């Protein structure tokens, strides 16, 4: 079994590679080769027993998709994308990487003719306000960003190429990943992770919105679990509707903080500083916050057990079990 | 006011050109120039007082979109497409014409920078079974054909290019056009028109499905009305959700036949021959049949008054008022 991860140097790509290296197999079949493709060089996962190839390149460039799938991978995870803010600022770059890159890839796979499993990382950015209180599986897609538009278009392509039998594809819409490891970033959604990660590491963090804001979260570990399940599940059961909203945990910021207090105590929670930012409040108000991901649940995708569990996963996976 | 109709030699394109030539104006502004673009040469509409240019070419070819909009049209109607059956048989051609052609056009308009009104003819093929009894405006798009996929992708592009201010665009999903003038064709949907048009012209027609089959119809005249309204309405009222299902008339085949009897009598209805075709029955069963087009109605799009009205429009517009 040969596996290709496009976007293999990113946060989820790296964690997925580590999981596959640890498991050594996918769907009960030993992984003989793991290729990590990205714009920057990825890392060989610790303890990997299979052959690991690190490729770098410009995804939508001519011939690049063919090069990437030269060894006819059985499973392709496509996680590479220009993020929302950049796709909004650089219209051409967003369409080139997020749409043309994916389409070239699907075309290369179609012409290779071996019909691999194709797992596409989509996003809840395919939805646009106004929303019902809870977004069901049959609610329509009206993206309000170029990024969301590009993800939506790729979902449609994955479905059509699957229907035609060119790939065996599925698109999974990831919740916001929390607790996101690394440095605080300037993404408008950054604070959802910052107010957990920084206090747990002994640092202060700023909360720019009210505690009543609700959002839809999944841990990095759960996201990797979604990927692995999407790569191994029986897609005949999914039928032609190949885009699925993944099950997250809908919690208010207040519930996030209460969970942090239960897991790590008052001292940690006291490191959150409230500094309302009307600009961020307004952006966040336009985001979807709560989904009924019934189809994904019925198809066996496993959410985090609770927001406390999300925090504990961060402490285990990123902090070696220790809170500052 | 300069107007461009892409697909100007097709059935709706021709009727739209005739309507604009008769009106001489759009939104109260005189039309100084009307360009009809198609793969085959269109016809100067009878009595046209404005300058009419007939262009032919291959829509997605290099430089073609720029050539088409060289005179910076104020309104662009984009009706050109490879039809459903052909897009399904020739995957590359469908994507090239229906997706790349539209995208090139939007890109050319973006770079021209004059932000014209852009009316895109979409289709209810963006929906895929299974359906609720009545499809609401917020029901999701899960096309089951490459044609439907391409139309859906173009809807998303029109919305994103509009949101970014590159065009002032809207996508309108047309019902099945009935009574379609011309010869009987082999499209699976052909019989809906055939069983009206042929008997009215003194010919026999075959009904391959049961009389309980329900479908969603609009007359060619109503479809042209949708186009004109889409070109002139205030799009600020539409907001960012720029794809609208047009209001049709949902009737069973039995109701079609009853309406034909009321309008044209027993002699005409007797020309319908029942010859059940399980293959066509099965295709038709997968089609959407009934919509609640509430948004379009609220925005002022006008459906045909009844199915009888649809038949009378055919008799007036195509048969000079005479039934055989």
Q: Does B143 touch chain A (CB under 8 A)?
A: yes
Band the pLDDT of A322: cuts 50, 70, 90.
Answer: very high
From residue B118, give the alpha-carbon distance in Å to each of A115, A121, B151, B238. 38, 32, 15, 14
Q: Is there a domain that residue B26 lies in?
A: yes
Interface test with A, best of B84, B104, B154, B160 (most A CBs within 10 A): B160
**Range of the structural domain that residue B117 is part of:** 2-175+218-245
CB pairs under 8 A between A and B: 56
Q: Supply the pLDDT for residue A178.
A: 97
Q: Is there a domain that residue B307 lies in?
A: no
What percent of chain A is predicted at pLDDT more than 70?
Answer: 100
The values of phi and psi at residue B109, to 5°, are -65, -40
- Name the minimum distance, in Å, from the CA of B62 to any CA of chain A: 17
Of A142, A152, A156, the CB nearest to B240: A142
Question: What six digits make up the tokens of B33?
Answer: 């120039």
CATH of the domain at B50: 3.40.50.720
Cβ atoms < 10 Å from Cβ of B64? 18
What percent of chain B is predicted at pLDDT more than 90?
Answer: 94
Q: Is there a domain that residue B14 lies in?
A: yes
> Exposed (0-12), middle (13-18) or buried (19+): which is A293, by Cβ within 10 Å?
buried
What's the rounded Cα separation, in Å, for the pair A57 and B271? 66
Q: Do B140 and A140 touch (CB under 8 A)?
A: yes
Query: Do B193 and B203 form a contact (C-beta atoms < 8 A)?
Result: no
Q: Do A164 and B157 touch (CB under 8 A)?
A: no
pLDDT above 90 (res B101): yes
- Active-site residues of A, by number, are 147
Return the axis-axis angle of helices B220-232 and B307-318, rounded to nearest 10°: 100
The values of phi and psi at residue A56, to 5°, are -125, 155
Which of A186, A179, A78, A143 has the alpha carbon at shortest distance from B240?
A: A143
DSSP, res A21: H
What's the rounded Cα separation, in Å, for the pair B312 and B320? 11
* Secondary structure (3-state) at B207: strand
**pTM (whole model) above 0.90:** yes
Band the pLDDT of A187: cuts 50, 70, 90.
Answer: confident
Question: What six digits make up the tokens of B46?
Answer: 């009878």
Q: Do A139 and B143 touch (CB under 8 A)?
A: no
Residues 216-255 of chain B with CB under 8 A from chain A are 240-241
pLDDT above 80 (res B118): yes
Tell me the per-residue pLDDT of B208-252, one tens digit each, with 9 for 90 and over.
Answer: 999 999 999 999 999 999 999 999 999 999 999 999 999 999 999
The residue of chain A nearest to residue B154, with distances taken between CA atoms, is: A153
Cis peptide before A130 (omega within 30 of 0): yes
Band the pLDDT of A185: cuts 50, 70, 90.
Answer: confident
What's the rounded Cα separation, in Å, for the pair A70 and A109? 10
Q: What is the mean pLDDT of residues A97-102?
A: 98
Q: What is the mean pLDDT of residues B142-153?
A: 96
* Secondary structure (3-state) at B58: coil
Q: Does B171 touch chain A (CB under 8 A)?
A: no
Tell me the per-residue pLDDT of A46-66, one tens digit each, with 9 for 90 and over.
Answer: 999 999 999 999 999 999 999
Q: Is there a domain that residue B194 lies in?
A: no
Q: Is there a domain that residue B40 lies in?
A: yes
Of A91, A141, A144, the CB nearest to B240: A144
Q: Do A141 and B142 touch (CB under 8 A)?
A: no
Question: What six digits make up the tokens of A209?
Answer: 């919105």
* Secondary structure (3-state) at A205: strand
| Count of structural domains, chain A | 1
pLDDT above 90 (res A186): no
What percent of chain B is predicted at pLDDT more than 70?
Answer: 100
What's the rounded Cα separation, in Å, for the pair B70 and B57? 14
Return the axis-axis angle of helices A190-200 and A253-264, rounded to nearest 10°: 20
Q: Is there a domain that residue A26 lies in?
A: yes
Q: Does A146 touch chain B (CB under 8 A)?
A: yes
Cβ atoms < 10 Å from Cβ of B130? 8
Task: For residue B152, list chain A residues with Cβ-Cβ distance below 8 A.
Answer: 156
- Active-site residues of B, by number, are 147
């Amino acid at each position: 079994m040969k596996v290709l991860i496009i976007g293999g140097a990113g946060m989820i790509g790296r964690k997925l590679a580590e999981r596959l290296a640890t498991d050594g197999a996918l769907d009960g079949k030993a992984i003989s080769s793991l290729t990590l493709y990205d714009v920057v060089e990825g890392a060989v996962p610790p303890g990997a027993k299979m052959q690991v190839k690190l490729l770098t390149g410009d995804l939508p460039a001519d011939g690049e998709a063919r090069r990437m799938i030269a060894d006819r991978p059985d499973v392709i995870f496509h996680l590479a994308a220009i993020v929302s803010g950049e796709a909004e600022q650089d219209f051409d770059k967003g369409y080139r990487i997020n749409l043309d890159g994916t389409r070239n890839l699907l075309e290369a796979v179609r012409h290779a003719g071996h019909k691999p499993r194709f797992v596409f990382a989509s996003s809840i950015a395919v939805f646009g306000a106004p929303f019902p209180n809870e977004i069901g599986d049959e609610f329509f897609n009206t993206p309000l960003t170029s990024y969301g538009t590009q993800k939506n278009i790729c979902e449609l392509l994955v479905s059509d190429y699957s229907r035609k039998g060119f790939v065996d594809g599925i698109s999974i819409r990831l919740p916001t990943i929390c607790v996101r490891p690394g440095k605080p970033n300037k993404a408008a959604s950054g604070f959802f992770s910052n107010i957990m990660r920084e206090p747990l590491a002994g640092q202060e963090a700023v909360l720019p919105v009210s505690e009543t804001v609700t959002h839809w979260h999944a841990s990095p570990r759960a996201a990797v679990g979604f990927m692995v399940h999407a790569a191994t599940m029986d897609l005949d059961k999914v039928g032609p509707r190949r885009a699925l909203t993944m099950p997250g945990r809908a919690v208010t910021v207040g519930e996030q903080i209460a969970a942090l207090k239960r897991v790590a105590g008052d001292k940690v929670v006291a490191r959150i500083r409230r500094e309302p930012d009307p600009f961020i409040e307004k952006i966040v108000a336009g985001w979807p916050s709560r989904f009924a991901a019934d189809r994904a649940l019925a198809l066996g995708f496993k959410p985090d057990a609770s927001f406390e569990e999300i925090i504990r996963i961060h402490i285990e996976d990123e902090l070696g079990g220790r809170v500052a």
